[in-house]
Structure 1
Amino acid sequence: MLWNTQTYTGWGHVLSATSEIARPERATALASLGAHPAIGARRSYGDACLNSDGTAVDMTRLDRILSFDASTGLVEAEAGIAIGELARLFAPMGWMPAVMPGTGFATLGGCIAMDVHGKNHHVDGSFGGHVTALKLMVAGKVKTITPKRNTRLFAATVGGLGQTGIIVSATLQMERCEGEGMEVSEQRAENWEEHIALLASSQARYTVGWLDCTAKAKNLGRGIVEEARSTAVRPQSAPKAAAKSVPFNFPRFTLSKAMVSGFNKAYYLRIRDGGQTRIKPLEEFFFPLDKIHNWNRLYGKNGFHQFQCVLPEAKLPELRAMVETIAHSGLASPLAVLKRLGPEAAGMLSFPMEGYTLAVDFRESAKARALIAELNAATLAAGGRIYFAKDSLATEAEAKAMYPDWAAWAKEVNTHDPDHQLETDLTRRLGLRSI
């Protein structure tokens, strides 16, 4: 197995690492490599996939379907397969992954390691709740773990940042779907109160809000709420064209305050009074930005941060205050999402908790870092937490206070990786394995 020195980044392009990286093509090669952090499509925004001056195993060539039961929807696949590929392959057969994040490029292993959530968390929970078994390479040996077998190790692995071992493959319980289309209804929310009311009252399986984080005063919190369901009706969109790509890092003025505000207003007004409903291709609804490759270059060569938090429902006034702070900062981008989440997930370090989650992108700058520090502090004060898959700026004290099970998680992880060979820049920065 060849090791190559590479300099690489997370999706936000703010943080980078130089590592020796191996890229095996067969699962049988993993045992001979030894213990190293596993990385996938590198869609985590910060340093979760980085290992500075160390080593890493790129899993993206281990992307095979190992078995599929068409009667039950159980599929076993290698960890490097993209979640969007599972949807593409099986939706025509009436099955799709029960939970999908905002990008179809995320790998199966990455979805487990981050215990990702989707637009249906309030109904179906997070990704780990649909994993029936996984094969984990621990100390050179493959161990099969399930929610009922090696329970603590399973709970430490789901949402566990890849620290318990290399996920070799996983068995996933998929969800029935009507076909490759999604019936999507969109309606405008004129302000914060209406936005929250629409999200709270939605009976749809899939619900998400786009938030105009430049709107202030009486328009604060305005946006568009999407509700969707699977359908067998053929999508109304134009025939698929080749994905477009952002060819270079854009200059700073492309995301100036005036341009973002103008874009957000136009995007909001595209929905007519009374709302609209149309049939979209599955991937257009679940992965809207995937059709623009390298869209992260829109933020320029210095990259960007994403702030994502979840606050309990009782703390909605505090979340509203955070949106107001963002609006007055003038730093928000057009990418801002508001969603309702359901009960907490089973993983010891899983992000979701019952309440509302806010995600906003900020182009890298000293002002953006100061604003995110303020938002992180507000999240902690409100009894919420930030999402490690997006984080690049939280402190060790904040992370440990937000995740009270971190010590139990660290104890379990350190049992299986006593020499800390699987640590990444993120776990070192946040001291998550220091007990």
Structure 2
Amino acid sequence: MRWKTDTVTGWGRVLSAASEIARPERTSALNAILASENAPAMGNRRSYGDAPLNDGGKSIDMTRLDRILGFDESTGILEAEAGCQLGELTRLFAPKGWLPAVLPGTGFATIGGAIAMDVHGKNHHNAGSFGQHVEAITLLVQGEKKTISPKRNASLFKATVGGMGQTGIILSAKIKMLPCKGDVIMVTERRVDGLDEFLELLDNSSATYTVGWIDATAKGSALGRGILEEGETGSGLVPARSKSKSVPFNAPSFALSPLTVRLFNKLYFRRVPDHGRTSVKPITDFFFPLDRIYDWNRLYGKRGFHQFQCVVPVAEAATLREILTQIAHSGLASPLAVLKRMGAGSAGYMSFPMEGYTLAVDFPNTEAARALVPRLEKLTAEVGGRIYLAKDSLSSGERIRPMYPDHATWSAEAAKADPTGALKTDLIRRLDLRSTK
């Protein structure tokens, strides 16, 4: 297996790394690589910051290890290699009446990445996080293959789920698929005029899948206005899919100017009639709407972008209001802003999900944005919330570690599994996450 020097980035394209990268196609090739030295694994690099990067070191690209190893229709248990993409599983299994239990906002996420970041989806309020549906993981720890599960090597399992690849290389996993009605989804959209109404609707929704788009430029009485989407899987004729598009070049800086964003958001809000509407969509269009636009991150130009994603406890809605107020008055928000209700479910020591409201907003990479995000993080931390490390590119360890009460336990497990620190990535070094302090 040959190493190839390449420069790679996270999805936000702000942070980059020059690394030697190996792309094994079989487990035997991976074993040959690791016989002489250890290195961190990465998937499709859909984390926005530097979670998958290892500047000046070596990385193992797992995306070619993507075989489906088995599926038991009587139990819904699917086994697949770490590089298998969740979008591909959705495409293959939804017509047969099965879905991955949790789907993030992109189908390009791999099983290994979904475990390493314990991703959440539009059904976290009732289904919890991805890791809660993982039955077992085959993990390569210092050259030894281990099977870990919630009952077997349980502490190592909890350190691996949401553990950012610091306990070993995920080779494959058994995940619990959930029954679905088919490969279409019925989506009800309604306009929401302000934040209080939005939170009430999220709290009281009985839909299987819910997600809110927020106009992050709205102020005053319109603060927090947006569109609530509620979805249920169905069966029947599949509507014609819209053709995928691509962004062939980096957009100029004025493409996402404050005036352009305000105008777009106003029109997008008005696209839903006053009385709302219900439509039927291909299931992938609902779960992975931006995947239809290849390289959409180029819309932010060469400078890239940062995403801020936080979760605050349900009782701290006032802080969420203050965060949105600061964003609206900054004039920095892009059209991409999402609000969801989260339940209590998470599976790992360093898992992001906690019960509350989660807000995700993209900002073009500017000096003003780099000053705003730390202020938003401070507000989040003061009320016992946390930020999502899969999205982070600006934080510091001093702010992060107190947000995760099980950090010390995770750090100790990571040190046992990787005593030399060979699996550290740029994110781990930047935030000094392996520190026990």
Alignment of 1:271-350 (within 5 A): 271-350=272-351
Conserved? CA contact 2:127–2:345, under 8 Å: no
Residue 346 of structure 1 deviates from its aligned partner by 2.3
Unmatched tracts of structure 1, length 5 or more? none
Q: Which residue, 173, 183, 198 being the options, matches 2:186?
A: 183
Number of the residue aligned with 1:393: 394
Number of the residue aligned with 2:17: 17
Number of the residue aligned with 1:27: 27
Separation in 2, partners of 1:31, 1:406: 30
Number of the residue aligned with 2:82: 79
Number of the residue aligned with 2:228: 225
Conserved? CA contact 1:182–1:235, under 8 Å: no
Number of the residue aligned with 2:3: 3
Conserved? CA contact 1:78–1:108, under 8 Å: yes
Look up the SS of the partner of 1:393 in the other structure.
coil
Number of the residue aligned with 1:254: 255
Separation in 2, partners of 1:283, 1:193: 30
**4+ residue runs over 3 A deviation:** none
Q: Quick one: which amino acid aligns to residue 319 of structure 2?
A: E
| TM-score (norm: length of structure 1) | 0.99
Separation in 1, partners of 2:237, 2:180: 13
Separation in 1, partners of 2:126, 2:140: 32
Q: Deviations over 1:88-109 (max 9, x none)?
A: 1111111010100000000010
Alignment of 1:349-428 (within 5 A): 349-428=350-429
Q: Quick one: which amino acid aligns to residue 166 of structure 1?
A: I
Separation in 2, partners of 1:164, 1:80: 17
Look up the SS of the partner of 1:422 in the other structure.
coil
Conserved? CA contact 1:31–1:137, under 8 Å: no
Look up the SS of the partner of 2:121 in the other structure.
coil
Separation in 2, partners of 1:29, 1:316: 51
Number of the residue aligned with 2:118: 115
Look up the SS of the partner of 1:43 in the other structure.
coil
Number of the residue aligned with 1:267: 268
Residue 324 of structure 1 deviates from its aligned partner by 0.6
Conserved? CA contact 1:233–1:279, under 8 Å: no
Separation in 2, partners of 1:434, 1:20: 26
Number of the residue aligned with 1:197: 200
Separation in 1, partners of 2:241, 2:51: 37
1:104 paired to 2:133: no
Separation in 1, partners of 2:401, 2:72: 41
Alignment of 1:147-166 (within 5 A): 147-166=150-169
Residue 167 of structure 1 deviates from its aligned partner by 0.3
Residue 69 of structure 1 deviates from its aligned partner by 1.0
Alignment of 1:229-240 (within 5 A): 229-236=232-239, 238-240=240-242
Residue 240 of structure 1 deviates from its aligned partner by 4.8
Residue 344 of structure 1 deviates from its aligned partner by 3.9
Conserved? CA contact 2:118–2:351, under 8 Å: yes
Q: Deviations over 1:374-417 (max 9, x none)?
A: 10111111110000000001111111111121111010010010
1:39 paired to 2:42: yes
Separation in 2, partners of 1:47, 1:308: 15
Look up the SS of the partner of 1:340 in the other structure.
strand
Residue 218 of structure 1 deviates from its aligned partner by 1.1
* Aligned-pair identity (%): 60
Separation in 1, partners of 2:329, 2:428: 33
Separation in 1, partners of 2:23, 2:276: 48
Conserved? CA contact 2:82–2:173, under 8 Å: yes
Separation in 2, partners of 1:386, 1:344: 16
Aligned CA RMSD, in angstroms, stands at 0.8
Conserved? CA contact 1:5–1:21, under 8 Å: yes
Separation in 2, partners of 1:265, 1:310: 26
Residue 303 of structure 1 deviates from its aligned partner by 0.1
Residue 273 of structure 1 deviates from its aligned partner by 1.2
Q: Deviations over 1:105-139 (max 9, x none)?
A: 00010000000000000000000000000100111
Residue 70 of structure 1 deviates from its aligned partner by 1.8
Conserved? CA contact 1:234–1:279, under 8 Å: no
Residue 316 of structure 1 deviates from its aligned partner by 0.6
Number of the residue aligned with 1:136: 139
Q: Deviations over 1:34-89 (max 9, x none)?
A: 22100000000000000010000000000000011122211100000110001111
Residue 27 of structure 1 deviates from its aligned partner by 1.2
Separation in 2, partners of 1:54, 1:249: 28
| TM-score (norm: length of structure 2) | 0.98
Residue 239 of structure 1 deviates from its aligned partner by 4.1
Residue 313 of structure 1 deviates from its aligned partner by 0.4
Q: Deviations over 1:339-390 (max 9, x none)?
A: 0000041200000000000000000010000000110111111110000000
Look up the SS of the partner of 2:335 in the other structure.
strand
Q: Quick one: which amino acid aligns to residue 313 of structure 2?
A: P
Conserved? CA contact 2:241–2:282, under 8 Å: no
Conserved? CA contact 2:124–2:345, under 8 Å: no
Residue 32 of structure 1 deviates from its aligned partner by 2.0
Residue 15 of structure 1 deviates from its aligned partner by 0.2
Unmatched tracts of structure 2, length 5 or more? none
Residue 234 of structure 1 deviates from its aligned partner by 2.3
Residue 173 of structure 1 deviates from its aligned partner by 0.5
Separation in 1, partners of 2:28, 2:143: 11
Q: How many residues align?
A: 433
